[in-house]
Structure 1
Amino acid sequence: MKLKPVRALMAAAILLTGTSAADAHIVAARLGDFYMGASHPLTDLQDVVLWIATGMLAGTLGASKGRWLIPVFPIGLLVGLSLAPVFATVSTQLADATMMLAIGMLLAAAAQVPTLVLCAIAFAVAVIRGAANGAELGPETDRLLFAAGLACVGYGAITLTMALTVLFKRNADSVTSWRAIAVRALGGWIAAIGLMMASLVLAS
């Protein structure tokens, strides 16, 4: 008889534990779409190269021009994500390659790009890559959480890359300094990657 209260308490504890585990699983599943949006671009080479190239281009032009990309780039990602269902069957590989080639050549030439043109380039890159990321989503994905994660990582990536480039070039005395040459050389490599990608796409 005395065991009944103990058994009742054990049963209640098991039920509470099961409920807590279920709630935790639901929360983890919901937040999983946010983390998927934040991590998905980091697993795609085209995202990594284009985002870094865009941030570097903004950084070489200085903080006064580059800071406009802080809101422009995440907004472009969200616009591209919203357009993903419309362009789900369209490949972005040629557009990605073209943007890599263009940005790489601008970096290699140390071109002084106007702020409006810089924002247009960054917005175009963000829309293209936002659509590419959104095209792979399944119907079970919470698009709002995915969009929040994508926008957050886009903001962080473009801001960090731009800031590091500004700091790296701050001590460059002239366009012939090794720091300036290193940035231009990296731009040449990015342009070469874009050219090879475009060639492969057109040849297929």
Structure 2
Amino acid sequence: MKLKSPRALMATAMLLAGANAAEAHIVAARLGDFYMGAMHPLTDLQDVVLWTATGMLAGTLGAKGRWLILVFPLGLLVWLPFGSALGAASTQLAGAAMMLAIGMLLAAAAQVPTLLLCALAFAVAMIRGAANAADLRPETDRLLFAAGLACVGYGAITLTMALTAVFKRPNSDSATSWRAIALRALGGWVAAIGLMMASLVLAS
């Protein structure tokens, strides 16, 4: 009995270790590219600032911004297969230009028409979709990566719109309230970041 107990314990430990390794391998093989697509935009400053600014602009416009829930994830997917066709400098400069434009619209508290808002959001999503696709490796499952990217894009834009709409409180705040001024100030910072990034790209 004394010999069997250690052997049984060793066998059990080996089985558990093997099961854990197999499970980790399955997750890495099947869902690793999905998680990479979901996490990749969160590690890029242009993605974080641009996605947040786009959601903020939509949130300040009320019901007009609801179209972005469909438009933004679609834009991320449209240009994804052609990411390698654009250079890194081109996508960075285009992203900085969009950041500057959206920041100025926020700072001016502009009432952007729905069609123009959708066009801006679609352009932002296409640019950043191409930028994210440019970093893909040949062995990456593009379908899983695209699914992860679209899911995080949908979540980010929806959450930012909702938080902005709640913060602004359009039914109770006027254009001169501190909440509206705070959003305009954030727009100014976004425009300044876009201008700085564009200058860095042009100078390099």
Residue identity opposite 1:47 in structure 2: D
Residue identity opposite 2:178 in structure 1: W
Moved more, 17-26 or 191-200: 17-26
Q: Which residue of 2 aligns with 1:92?
A: 91
Structure 1's 188 and 89: CA in aligned 2 closer, same or farther, altered over 3 A? Answer: closer
Offset at 1:86? 2.5
Q: Which residue of 2 aligns with 1:50?
A: 50
Q: Which residue of 2 aligns with 1:178?
A: 178
4+ runs deviating over 2 angstroms: 12-23, 85-91
Q: Which residue of 1 aligns with 2:111?
A: 112
Distance 2:15 2:167 in 1: 55
Q: Which residue of 1 aligns with 2:157?
A: 158
Offset at 1:32? 1.0
Q: TM-score, normalised by structure 1?
A: 0.88
- CA deviation vs aligned residue, 1:144-166 (integer Å, no higher than 9, x gap): 11111100000000000000000
Q: TM-score, normalised by structure 2?
A: 0.88
Between the aligned residues of both structures, percent identity stands at: 77
Offset at 1:70? 0.2
Offset at 1:88? 5.2
CA RMSD of aligned residues (A): 2.2
Distance 2:96 2:20 in 1: 46
Structure 1's 176 and 86: CA in aligned 2 closer, same or farther, altered over 3 A? Answer: same
Moved more, 158-167 or 89-98: 89-98
Moved more, 192-201 or 114-123: 192-201
Residue identity opposite 1:187 in structure 2: G
State whether residues 88 and 131 of structure 2, in contact with CA within 8 Å, keep that contact through their aligned partners in structure 1: no
Q: Which residue of 2 aligns with 1:201?
A: 201
Distance 2:94 2:86 in 1: 13
Structure 1's 200 and 167: CA in aligned 2 closer, same or farther, altered over 3 A? Answer: same
Moved more, 173-182 or 90-99: 90-99
Count of aligned residue pairs for this structure pair? 199
Offset at 1:87? 2.4
Residue identity opposite 2:57 in structure 1: L
Distance 1:89 1:104 in 2: 22
Structure 1's 176 and 89: CA in aligned 2 closer, same or farther, altered over 3 A? Answer: closer
Note the residue ranges of structure 2 that are not aligned, 5 or more in a row. none
Offset at 1:19? 6.6
- CA deviation vs aligned residue, 1:25-76 (integer Å, no higher than 9, x gap): 33211211111111110011100000000000000000x1111000100010
SS at match of 2:109: coil
SS at match of 1:138: coil
Note the residue ranges of structure 1 that are not aligned, 5 or more in a row. none
Offset at 1:15? 9.0
